[in-house]
Amino acid sequence: MSEFYNFKNLGVLFVDDNKSMQMFMRSLLLSMNIVNIRACNDTETCLEMMAEEPPDIVITDLLFRQCDGLDLIRRIRQAEDGVDRYTPVLVITGQTNMSDVLAARDAGATEFLAKPVSVGSLHDRLVWMVENPRPFIKASGFVGPDRRRAMRGYEGMERRK
């Protein structure tokens, strides 16, 4: 694991309807010296909280009892209720099939992390997000971080010039 960043001033909004997961995530974030932590249970509350006090990052699960994490991400990317569409969104979920990862990416998630999550894996993903910001794309049918990843060494016929 790389040297720890000073994330003390990072504002995090965590969205999960499982109170135990909220407490666990709070303890992980506090162990990284992140103290500006807010949590909520659903999409509507998240959007309200984002409009009142914009977070630096939103961390969300994909599945909730009454709503859908993909819907939350899409609504953030559409700047619904005046929220900042450029807010980084980290998905932390147990839904780790490739179709779930691609659905989160296509909804506009910035990064994806599979449960179970540790302080080390969360820290590394936050550092990755800071050190490797992804350009934002606005196109018909998609608003969010560039979905393409570097394909180093690809020499096939469809390689871009």
- Domain extents for the chain? 11-145
Distance of CA 156 to the CA centre of its chain: 32
The rounded distance, in Å, linking the Cα atoms of 105 and 102 is 5
Residue 9 near residue 32, CB atoms below 8 Å: no
Higher-scoring residue by pLDDT: 53, 153: 53
Mean pLDDT of the chain: 88
Identify the pLDDT of residue 2: 47
Could you tell me where the DSSP H helices lie in 8-115?
19-31, 43-52, 69-77, 98-107
Does pLDDT of 106 surpass 50?
yes
Q: Which of 27, 32, 36 is nearest to 58 (CA)?
A: 36
Q: pLDDT-based confidence at 157, cuts 50/70/90?
A: low
CATH of segment(s) 11-145? 3.40.50.2300
Residue 109 near residue 91, CB atoms below 8 Å: yes
What pTM was computed for the model?
0.87
The rounded distance, in Å, linking the Cα atoms of 101 and 95 is 8
Per-residue model confidence as pLDDT tens digits over 48-89: 999 999 999 999 999 877 778 999 999 999 999 899 999 999
